[in-house]
Amino acid sequence: MSQYNTTILIIDDNEEHANATAEAIQKVGYKCIVATSGKAGLKIIETEEIDVVITDLIMHDFSGMEILKATKEKLPEAEIILITGYGTVETAVDAMQKGACYLSSETN
């Protein structure tokens, strides 16, 4: 049983990365669902109650920005985190303007 009442959807077309991310998050008590394609992730967004979506920005079938848009339309209260090894400042600003979660490494 999940320690927290939060369901996190991991969408990444790199199956090993998706499963490793889910495993790490599950270790601290969250429920995770893994989708290894954008298409599979969108189907889950349409049918499940998801609280947080963690998605790769660049995938073969759908981009993380498309996932962001679809999630905000279907689940407006969900938080979306985009991850990538190919990010730019422009992409980050665009994602935040469209509703992606902003995480800062700064401490107060």
* In the chain, domain spans: 7-97
Does the reported pTM lie above 0.85? no
Helix (H, G, I), strand (E, B) or coil at 82: strand
- Find how far residue 62's CA is from the centre of its chain: 13
Q: Give the pLDDT confidence of 5-54 residue by residue, as tens digits.
A: 999 999 999 999 999 999 999 999 999 999 999 999 999 999 999 999 99
Sorted by sequence, the CB contacts under 8 Å of residue 45 that are 6+ apart come out as 9, 53, 67, 70, 71, 74, 75
Q: Tell me if 49 sits within 8 A of 9, measured CB to CB.
A: no
Q: 7-97 falls under which CATH superfamily? A: Response regulator (3.40.50.2300)
Q: Tell me if 43 sits within 8 A of 74, measured CB to CB.
A: no
Instruction: Count the residues in the chain.
Output: 108
